[in-house]
Amino acid sequence: MAASAIYTNPEAKSWTYTYETDISLAQAFHSRLPGYKATPLVPLDDFAQELGVKAVFVKDESSRLGLPAFKILGASWGTFRAIAQQNGLPLDASLEEASKAAQEAGTTLFAATEGNHGRAVARMAKILGVQARIFMSRFSDQETVHKIESEGAQVTIIPGNYDNAVATAFAESRKASGGLLIQDNAFDGYEQIPAWIVEGYSTLLFEVEQQLEEHGLQATMIVTPIGVGSLGHAVVAYCKSGGRHIEVLTVEPETAACLHHNLKAAEWSTIETSATIMNGMNCGTVSPISWPVLYKGVDRSITVSDLECHHSVQHLQAHNVNAGPCGAATLAAVKKAAPIDMPTQGLTDNAVIVLLITEGTRSYPSPATVLFANH
């Protein structure tokens, strides 16, 4: 299903959010992980000048805890919390304690994925010394499968789409003794672990805050890619809480714009999706625990084509930012939004814009080549 144009919610500007849990626990956990350090916040001065805004930064998640995407922040915290809860461990327990408890309980981690989440869960299983079983849709490419297998996980490709892969992962986790589903989207009866995964993503936003403070700046707009909306949920929660009124612009592939479609219809529903180079964003259903937050707190939502995204990958490469398509989608979104609503909404000369570059470079079929081949 293709979607286009920009969606705006003027009421989101004054909407506020209150965290229900102490998310600093997630930050403390991440800082205890081996190899933890804040990812870079890189200025894009040329682009800021071109847009006529004060500053544009990219939060570069191309190398996060040794993986080429941000997802390990959520997968690690979600897995740790689930194991801690199952085994009665305190939230300041060490990884070694969690690992021992998971091994003794015969835990196997299960997940469905378009790539990055599954690899992050597989890596957590490796760190904890337990098995992982990962389920993927028919859109999956061999290279991604190999990367997940390289973490020691068993990968199964199912004939259906991402939503079908989630259903299969859930069913298989129920059948296996010690099966534990670590899924980054909620569904009826499965809400707690996705909520912890959302909490885990908040670490990158608090890093952004600290990094901007070093420049004497505060963000006025954060641009985030959307798949099932868990990252977007974390972004909205951060942007609309603690006295912050930061604008949120979301971006999705034209062929998998579930949030954009739902926002316009003011109603949660599932849509059909088709292949896109923005694999991690190829999702047809917004996570139901995230939908109410996104509905109230997203200021603007836009969709981009594979070709627009590909051009932004090239733009970032020219500035030494090694972004994959899901990350570059945020640059494509601002480029597309700018001529439509500049300078009235958000893109003013005081604007400090942060683009979340959620994954590093990876190979994908060039949309320019695909277009050429089709004509």
Ligand X SMILES: Cc1ncc(COP(=O)(O)O)c(C=O)c1O
CB of 137 to ligand X, least distance (A): 12
**Rounded CA gap, 334 and 325, in Å?**
15
**Nearer to ligand X (CB atom), residue 53 or residue 327:** 327
Three-state DSSP at 335 gives helix
**Nearer to ligand X (CB atom), residue 71 or residue 260:** 71
135 contacts 172 by C-beta, under 8 angstroms: yes
CB of 74 to ligand X, least distance (A): 8
Contacting residues toward ligand X, per CB under 6 A: 69, 71, 114, 116-117, 184, 225-232, 280-281, 283, 326, 358-359
**Nearer to ligand X (CB atom), residue 9 or residue 276:** 276
**Rounded CA gap, 39 and 16, in Å?**
27
| First-residue to last-residue Cα distance in the chain | 22
CB of 270 to ligand X, least distance (A): 15
**Rounded CA gap, 299 and 297, in Å?**
6
**Nearer to ligand X (CB atom), residue 247 or residue 252:** 252
Neighbours of 11 (CB within 10 A): 10
**Nearer to ligand X (CB atom), residue 179 or residue 232:** 232
CB of 271 to ligand X, least distance (A): 14
**Nearer to ligand X (CB atom), residue 186 or residue 226:** 226
Closest CA to 166 of 264, 288, 275: 288
CB of 155 to ligand X, least distance (A): 16
Tokens encoding 203:
């670490």
Which are the contacts of 321, defined by CB distance < 8 A and separation ≥ 6?
42, 44, 58, 60, 62, 357
Closest CA to 2 of 326, 274, 248, 255: 255
| DSSP calls for 61-116 | -SSBTTBSBTTHHHHHHHHHHHHHHHHT--TT--HHHHHHHHHHTT-EEEEEESSH
**Nearer to ligand X (CB atom), residue 220 or residue 358:** 358
Closest-approach residue to ligand X (CB): 280
CB of 66 to ligand X, least distance (A): 15
CB of 120 to ligand X, least distance (A): 9
